[in-house]
Chain A
Amino acid sequence: MKALVELYAQQFKTTLAMMFQYRASLLIWMIGQVLEPLVYLIVWSVVSEGSGGSVGGYTTSGFAGYFILLMLVNQVTYTWIMYEFEHRIREGILSFALLKPVHPIHSDIADNVSSKLITLPIMIVIAAALAALFQASISPAPWAVAVFIPALLLAFLVRLLLEWTLAQAAFWTTRVGAMNQVYFVMMLFLSGQIAPLTLLPHPLQVVATLLPFRWLINFPVELLLGQLTLAEALIGLGAQVGWLIVSFILFRTIWRAVVRLYSAVGA
């Protein structure tokens, strides 16, 4: 355990050093992280004003609250593992990972946590500025704030495990791009990124609830917006824990299969 803590601390220093190397691209990336929800926010504000000040229960400032929180939750739970894995396999980086006496996912978790810790303060300042500008209404009960913290951490862990596991598909097919695209589109619609889930047609809402997507972004956002009852919040946490177990089992199973395949055919 102590060794893992040291590993994470060291990875933090490495990630920090890397981010300083990539200052410009980091800035561009953060602009992207802000712009996407901002565009949806502006679109939905216009729609809401055009329909007399509210759509599906969301007022203009309600949309502002939703998309600003979404920006933060997405920032915390986002990973770039799926983009990286194909390159890792092609470059044979996995061979080095397999030679190390530590599971390679630890480096990825540590790297993600580190970069989030570094960028989050800036994102919070941006979020606060946007909230003031758009007069966002965010009014959670104290218990909702308390539940939000574990909900956010669970969302991060599940999303990371799922995306790490999906990224392993690169071992079976050299064209993971198409599969990634399907995942990203589902994520865009079913996690509530493009619109609050309550605005989607009912069947889609059901699908979003049955799949993990809703629990990764929409749930923590609604929780902090103060839209959920305590019972709904606890059900949400339960769903997240359920998906954590499922994604962990998937991760273990697929990783074993990958190592077996890799050590059968080489790179």
Chain B
Amino acid sequence: MIGITMTSPAIHIRDLRKIYIVSQQEAGARAALQGLVHRRKLEVRAVDGISFDVAPGEIVGFLGPNGAGKTTTLKMLSGLLYPTAGEVTVLGYVPSKREASFLRQITLVMGQRNQLVWDIPALHSFELNRVIYRIPAEDYRRMLGELTELLDLGPLLQKPVRNLSLGERMKCEIAAALLHRPSVVFLDEPTIGLDVTMQRRIRTFIAEYNRRFGATVLLTSHYMNDVEALCRRVIVIHHGRLVFDGDLAILVQKFTSHKTIVVQLGDCSADLHSYGEILSCEDGRFTLRVPRAETARVTERLLVDLPVTDLLVEDPPIEEVIERVFAQENP
């Protein structure tokens, strides 16, 4: 925390708001006709007065359920959206002015969108970014080398993008977005839809990029594992409002009193009520809800007492944690 007060923040947000005006139409021909003359306007408060600072070099997890305002905030931070009210600066720049010197220092990776040219090898898109960002030849070569090594891109760069798997393409997308070595990195669901191995790979890479280049990273993800591995600090928003900003460990401890244990048995006939609350059972695969403090003891008992072929202890999904955070805020 001392470091944060000493240097000016990489990201600074005060009372940030984004209100969309959407026209609404009810179903039916009559409503459609009325809609031609008079549209009901509806105010949607996508981001409703949030404030936080992020210090240079910090990795922060930005969490919230779908529609919480995460992407809207990231878009305001990267200059794609103009705020309705409030203050935003990134590296001292006002993002919505989209100054070239600002754009050259940031990047936004959107897991569900892609910028690579589809039909030709990714290397062509990389080269285009080299000239667009005016990356000196030497820097480009070095950075491409590092990214190739860290993300294991070697065999992928010569293949047309359309022939890559989702995970391979994502690695190339991330590389393309980082060639200009941005010091502020916005990642919107960078691991969405990827298998566990690939998720881990990308996670390790983000940590390494942050370590090597001292970049500031703001990351949204639906995967608790991403957040746990990368972020000490998390910011949770819900309905456009900030509901938690602080240590991840505190968030999890504070808002999750239980863990789930998944046990694989032969069938569903066994009575496991004495071990915990049974949430479901399918083909002998029980899901139990157990108080956090008793997890270790229950696990041990299960393994001793029953013919367990597989056992998995999980934190509740991030959505559930956030729901709890939200429930606490608005009882």
Contacts and interface: CB of A to CB of B under 8 A. Distances in A.
Given A10-B128, A14-B124, A100-B103, A266 B78 contact: no
B162 to A, nearest CB: 9
Interface string B289-309: 000000000000000000000
Interface string A190-202: 0000000000000
B107 interface: yes
A14 B81 CA distance: 30
A24 interface: no
Contacts of B124: 13-14, 17
Contacts of A17: 120-121, 124
A264 B132 contact: no
Interface stretch (A69-77, A91-99, A167-175, A233-241): A91-99
B82 A101 contact: no
B120 A99 contact: no
A125 interface: no
Given A21-B119, A91-B113, A93-B115, A98 B79 contact: yes
B104 A101 contact: yes
Contact of A95 (B113, B117, B134): B113
B115 A11 contact: no
Contact of B113 (A13, A92, A98): A92
A22 B131 contact: no
B82 A264 contact: yes
Given A6-B131, A18-B119, A95 B110 contact: yes
B120 A14 contact: yes
Contacts of B104: 101
B279 interface: no
A7 B80 contact: no
Which of A6, A17, A22, A262 gathers most chain B CB within 10 Å?
A17
A100 B117 CA distance: 15
Given A14-B117, A92-B113, A99 B131 contact: no
A13 B79 CA distance: 30
A21 B134 contact: no
Contacts of B78: 99
B283 to A, nearest CB: 41
Interface residues of A, number: 29
A265 B81 CA distance: 7
Contacts of B131: 3, 6-7, 9-10
Contacts of B110: 92, 95
Given A10-B131, A98-B98, A263 B82 contact: yes
B20 A11 contact: no
Contact of B107 (A18, A93, A99): A99
Which of B80, B125, B127 gathers most chain A CB within 10 Å?
B80
Interface in A1-35: 3, 6-7, 9-11, 13-14, 17-18, 21-22
A102 interface: yes
A1 to B, nearest CB: 12
Contact of B81 (A91, A96, A266): A266
Given A99-B78, A101-B132, A263-B80, A10 B98 contact: no
Chain A interface main SS type: helix
B108 to A, nearest CB: 6
B72 to A, nearest CB: 7
Contact of B79 (A3, A99, A265): A99
Contacts of A6: 131
Interface in B102-154: 103-104, 106-108, 110, 113, 115, 117, 119-121, 124-125, 127-128, 130-134
Contact of B130 (A10, A98, A264, A265): A10
A266 B128 contact: no
A154 B79 CA distance: 34
A18 B117 contact: yes
B160 interface: yes
Nearest to A264: B82
B127 A14 contact: yes
A261 to B, nearest CB: 10
B96 interface: yes
Interface in A238-267: 260, 262-266
A121 B105 CA distance: 42
Contact of B133 (A18, A101, A260): A101
19 contacts: A3-B131, A3-B134, A7-B131, A7-B132, A14-B125, A17-B121, A21-B119, A95-B75, A95-B80, A95-B113, A96-B115, A99-B78, A99-B79, A100-B103, A100-B133, A101-B104, A101-B133, A102-B100, A266-B20
Given A7-B132, A98-B80, A101-B132, 20 more contacts: A9-B131, A11-B128, A13-B124, A13-B127, A14-B127, A17-B121, A21-B119, A21-B120, A92-B110, A95-B80, A95-B108, A95-B113, A96-B113, A99-B79, A99-B80, A99-B103, A99-B106, A99-B107, A100-B132, A266-B72
Interface of A: 3, 6-7, 9-11, 13-14, 17-18, 21-22, 91-93, 95-96, 98-102, 107, 260, 262-266
Interface of B: 20, 72, 75, 78-82, 96, 98, 100-101, 103-104, 106-108, 110, 113, 115, 117, 119-121, 124-125, 127-128, 130-134, 160
